């Protein structure tokens, strides 16, 4: 039985990799298992591999569950299927915003410092940081997060196919278009630039607010931010909304590189990009 506002979501994330010629071997890491957190509970999760492979699991430095596996025999393709059942809850009230001085002291003396500085993916020019500071002048941390997120969303249109996984935050700003990964990187870069720790969240977003029960719908992997203002607070700058019961968290890190859903190496000739599908079914 679920309480009002709670959702129970079945998620099927499938990644298919086809090689131009059979790969002699491959070594893989998968980050596709949703976390259990105060706002969500993972009731069931499994990762299956074809061709069949022995898997092992561990928690990485950032607190994400990783599934590893090796394929040591030649294989023409690879299919990874991550299935999960997750119960999600509406977000609670935002914590009281700390004073900027207290926040800076907390950052300097804790692991928050890891989320306060730029990475190669979240480096932007100084004039752009100054623009964010102007937008946030006189605001508290919660208001700052909203103002900076709005600044980015007003500038960068969500337009699939205009960027790649290697696009930087600065490039997304210049071309005024990108996907959720770009918008998230850019928002993180500017939040860190104005003194607010921020981290990258990788997960899933159910595409329908009023989803019909037991009807599968095509969804997507998604990215959004969490910023620190007395506690970690989730916000989705792509959709201009707080992270809520439609969002499912898989991992958090400094940027995409810390939470890449599938990474690995293989021995063979170059192949095409993977084919990725995500299917949601609301079951309660």
Res 94 pLDDT > 80: yes
CA dihedral 263, 267, 273, 275 (to 10 degrees): -70
Question: Other C-beta atoms within 10 Å of 265: how many?
Answer: 10
Q: Within 10 A of 148 (CB to CB), how many other CB atoms are there?
A: 31
- Determine how β-strand 247-253 pairs with β-strand 217-218: unpaired
List pLDDT tens digits, range 252-276: 999 999 999 999 999 999 888 899 9
Q: Are the beta carbons of 116 and 141 closer than 8 angstroms?
A: no
What confidence tens digit (pLDDT) does each residue in 26-60 have?
999 999 999 999 999 999 999 999 999 999 999 99
| Pick from 14, 19, 55: nearest CA to 272 | 19
Full-model pTM: 0.96
Which DSSP letter does residue 250 get? E
- Give the span between the Cα atoms of 177 and 243, in whole angstroms: 22
């Amino acid at each position: 039985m679920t309480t009002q506002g709670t959702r129970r979501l079945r998620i099927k994330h499938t990644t298919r990799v086809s090689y131009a010629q059979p790969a002699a071997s491959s070594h893989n890491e998968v980050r596709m298992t949703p976390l259990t957190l105060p706002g969500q509970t993972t009731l069931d999760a499994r990762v299956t591999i074809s061709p069949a492979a022995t898997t092992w699991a561990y928690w990485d430095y950032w607190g994400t569950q990783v599934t590893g596996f090796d394929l040591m025999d030649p294989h023409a393709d690879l299919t990874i299927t991550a299935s999960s059942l997750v119960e999600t809850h509406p977000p609670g009230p935002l914590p009281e915003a700390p004073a900027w001085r207290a926040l800076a002291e907390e950052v300097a003396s804790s692991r928050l410092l890891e989320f306060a500085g730029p990475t190669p993916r979240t480096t932007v020019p100084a004039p752009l940081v100054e623009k964010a500071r102007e937008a946030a002048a006189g605001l508290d941390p919660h208001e700052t997060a909203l103002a900076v997120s709005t600044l980015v969303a007003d500038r960068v249109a969500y337009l699939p196919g205009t960027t790649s996984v290697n696009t930087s935050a600065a490039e997304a700003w210049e071309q005024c278009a990108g996907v959720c990964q770009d918008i998230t990187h850019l928002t993180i870069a500017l939040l860190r630039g104005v003194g607010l720790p921020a981290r990258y969240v990788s997960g899933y977003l159910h595409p329908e607010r009023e989803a019909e029960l037991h009807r599968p719908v095509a969804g997507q992997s998604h990215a959004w931010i969490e910023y620190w203002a007395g506690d970690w607070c989730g916000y989705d700058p792509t959709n201009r909304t707080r992270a809520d019961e439609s969002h499912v968290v898989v991992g958090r890190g400094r940027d995409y590189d810390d939470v890449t859903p599938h990474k690995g190496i293989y021995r063979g000739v170059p192949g095409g990009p993977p084919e990725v599908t995500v299917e949601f079914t609301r079951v309660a």
